[in-house]
A = this chain, B = another copy of it.
């Protein structure tokens, strides 16, 4: 999506060779008008996916998921991150390792809000190694629900997450797909 690619080229910063800092518009300061446009694009590209629910994970997935949900007229389920190893009976839980923070979290949703028969579109801000994505797909599997698609605003294709998701039979769509990145350049697919 050209609008997002242009914004990344204009305002994104590549740190330490591999971290794309987009906190001026995507996940710290939110460019709400831009995010609405991203939501509209998601709604258009996913209009035939059959989802009755969008699943995302706190906290940087919430805004993009919400923007898509408004156009798709769907509710959003926000998976919580939880450091505790005490998991209550009332939730589905899956471990996720964060390379950025070098920490292990659980992603958790209440069983009350995800169940058999749900058709779930997963929406997140980033797709890189796919760790978070696989954790979210596991929640859907545990609930006996179906993942109908995975959408990321920005994909770092070379980190391999897409392949892991597609291997589970879940289609992947990203609005900006980075195939190569370093301090001097960002190359899109």
The A interface, classified by DSSP as helix, strand, loop or mixed, is mixed
Known: A36-B70, A66-B67, A70-B36. A29 touches B75 (CB 8 A): yes
Known: A24-B113, A110-B23. A30 touches B73 (CB 8 A): no
Which chain B positions have C-beta within 8 A of A166? Answer: none
Chain B CB within 8 A of A176 CB: no
- Asked whether B30 lies within 8 Å of A78 as measured between CB atoms, the reply is yes
Known: A58-B59, A59-B59. A28 touches B66 (CB 8 A): no
CA distance A29 to B27 in the complex (A): 20
The list of the 4 closest CB pairs from A to B, nearest first, reads A59-B59, A58-B59, A30-B76, A29-B113
